[in-house]
Amino acid sequence: MQQRVSQYTRFCPNEPKIPISDAVCLGRRRSHYPYCPGCQFNDDEKKAAASAGGAARVQETTRMLDAIFKAYDVRGTVPNQLNEDLAYKIGQGTAMFLQSQLRGVERGDPDAARLILGRDMRKSGPALCAAFSEGARAAGSAVVNIGMIDTPQVYFAVNHLRCAGGVQTTASHNPGHYNGFKISGRGGAPVGSDTGLADIKRLAQTVVRRDEAKAPVSEIDLTAPYKAFVRGFLHPPRPMRVVVDASNGMAGKWAPILFGDLDALDVTWLNLEHNGEFVHEPNPLVEANLRQLRDEVRRIGADFGVCFDGDADRLILVDEHAAPVRCDLLTALLAREFLRTSPGATVVYDLRSSRVVAEEIRSAGGRPRRERVGHAFMKKALSETKGVFGGELSGHFYFRDNWFCDSGMLAFAHVLNVLTREGKPLGELLAPLKRYAASGERNFENEDKDGAIQRLAERFKDARVDFVDGITVQYETWWFNVRKSNTEPLLRLNLEAATPELLAEKLNLIAKDLGKPVEH
């Protein structure tokens, strides 16, 4: 019997003042309306929970999801923390979330709801990728599988094909038994805990496998347009001898494709194999992982060397003397290059960076924008300011002409451009930027992180103090930042001073109040 309006007792969580009929409620559940999971009127969930072990299964799923959903991505060990069943649920939750972000006529356009899906070289990748795809298709999103790719290619594909979002199956720089998902929205915008990842986790908690008709899946090879896109930023390079360490990651496939046919470059390739086995951990921030690269640069007398991380969205350089290059100094060097052609533009840098970064940006006619640590914050700041370029100490570099996203391959191309235009060794170009003494990031065990930061604020209240990310204290001849780790009982200290002597003095002054020093 058809209900009268006066008999409507249901409503959607996002529209609590608008009553709906039982039929509308059922229709929304069948079409995977994003607000149905967890709703008090979701009869499907009630039936599932009422079945034998239903509630216990939901509880167990929630526990497992809590362990792998991080601030910026999904990541865990396989199969103990992340398995194919969870990948299916996360895939369905991701598709439902991305569909909920569609507006206007997009909601009726199946192409607008398409989802890009890629993976890196990890052995668990094919199975997890397939399960994620199945879940996304069960939610009604067509999946475009672009194969084994570097993470920046996901951002390219989302924009090139105008899809609702994209997902890379990767654990970035973690060891081989880890895997996970990096999720992006429209335009390649990052999906983090504050911008949708928490919603995806909530949606995935109550997913029930369905044997309904699925949206289609297709495969596409974007090698040609992606190579044309990256090479479009590269000027004809001068003759150089370069060592490239691919870290047995995605650079092992894509760096030779993108740059291997340049006659001017004499490239020595290291660790190109990309089969899920690693000669060294695919994390170039750990100095021990640069040892092989540095030895080879010295042996052949290379102009410089580059080490990519596992999914090739970031890199670390060593100069012609095999000395590691600080990423804040590289940010300053590249900023000058971008400001040559975009005078007055904004350049975003992470707040741990040397003062030299802001000084160089201003001297080149740009506007420095200091930002908190993390790729979600960097991308957002660059997009909001329409900035031309951004750089982090972690080796992530962001580009306006890459939809404000990061790319290790584009960073490599722009380094080649600078060295070609300047005609000088990398170390010589960086030398004038080394005008302050820096501590590097140091870690301290501390169970009372908030209390320690508050005590620092009281102790240094005569300085310029801000709390953009942890606490930053600035004096004329020295400054420091102390940040909390999001995942461990650690405080992270970065300190810079006008001289090495002043640096040592201030380190002794501050470190004693931060806890037990740890190598991390």
Q: Tokens 């895997």, residue?
A: 179
Q: Tokens 């079945």, residue?
A: 51
Going residue by residue through the chain, which has 520 residues, state the pLDDT in tens, using 9 for 90 and above: 555 655 556 777 666 667 777 767 777 776 667 777 767 677 766 665 555 456 777 889 999 999 999 988 999 999 999 999 999 999 999 999 999 999 888 887 888 899 999 999 999 999 999 999 999 999 999 999 999 999 999 999 999 999 999 999 999 999 999 999 999 999 999 999 999 999 999 999 988 887 666 899 999 999 999 999 999 999 999 999 999 999 999 999 999 999 999 999 999 999 999 999 999 999 999 999 999 999 999 999 999 999 999 999 999 999 999 999 999 999 999 999 999 999 999 999 999 999 999 999 999 999 999 999 988 899 999 999 999 999 999 999 999 999 999 999 999 999 999 999 999 999 999 999 999 999 999 999 999 999 999 999 999 999 999 999 999 999 999 999 999 987 678 999 999 999 999 999 999 999 999 999 998 5
Dihedral of alpha carbons 106, 111, 112, 114, sign: positive
Half-sphere exposure of 291 (CA within 13 A, CB side): 6
52: left (phi over 0), alpha (psi -120 to 50) or beta: beta
What is the Cα gyration radius of the chain? Answer: 25
Which tokens is 295 given? 């030895």
Which residues touch 510 (CB under 8 Å, ≥6 apart)? 456, 480, 482, 493, 495
Q: Which CATH number fits domain 233-423: 3.40.50.1980, 3.40.120.10, 3.40.50.920, 3.30.465.10?
A: 3.40.120.10
Tell me which H or E stretch contains 253.
helix 251-259
Nearest to 165 by CA among 212, 197, 123, 138: 197
d(CA 302, CA 300): 6
Is there a cis peptide before residue 343, judged by omega within 30 degrees of 0?
no
The residue extents of the domains of the chain are 51-219, 233-423, 437-518
d(CA 215, CA 203): 19
Which tokens is 411 given? 């960073």
Nearest to 391 by CA among 371, 364, 418: 371
Which tokens is 28 given? 């929304």
Q: Are 515 and 444 in contact (CB under 8 A)?
A: yes
SS3 84: helix
Q: Which amino acid is at 501?
A: E
Which tokens is 508 given? 């002794």
Q: Calculate the CA 66 to chain-centre distance.
A: 19
Nearest to 382 by CA among 335, 186, 391: 391
Tell me what pLDDT residue 52 has.
Answer: 46
Q: Are the folds of 233-423 and 437-518 the same?
A: no
Q: Are 434 and 329 in contact (CB under 8 A)?
A: yes
What DSSP letter does each residue of 203-245 carry, written as one string?
Answer: HHHT-----S----EEE---HHHHHHHHHTTPPPPPPEEEEEE
Cβ atoms within 10 Å, residue 55? 13
Q: Tokens 């001068």, residue?
A: 238
Q: Tell me, what DSSP letter sits at residue 173?
A: T
What DSSP letter does each residue of 343-358 carry, written as one string?
Answer: TT-EEEEETTS-HHHH
For domain 51-219, give the fold. Alpha-D-Glucose-1,6-Bisphosphate; Chain A, domain 3 (3.40.120)
For domain 437-518, give the fold. TATA-Binding Protein (3.30.310)
Cβ atoms within 10 Å, residue 153? 29
Nearest to 165 by CA among 137, 188, 139, 144: 188
Tell me what pLDDT residue 6 has.
Answer: 59
> Looking at the chain, how many residues does it have?
520
Q: Which residues are catalytic?
A: 172
Which residues touch 80 (CB under 8 Å, ≥6 apart)? none
Tell me what pLDDT residue 232 has.
Answer: 99
Which tokens is 484 given? 């909390």
d(CA 435, CA 417): 24
Q: Are 407 and 414 in contact (CB under 8 A)?
A: no
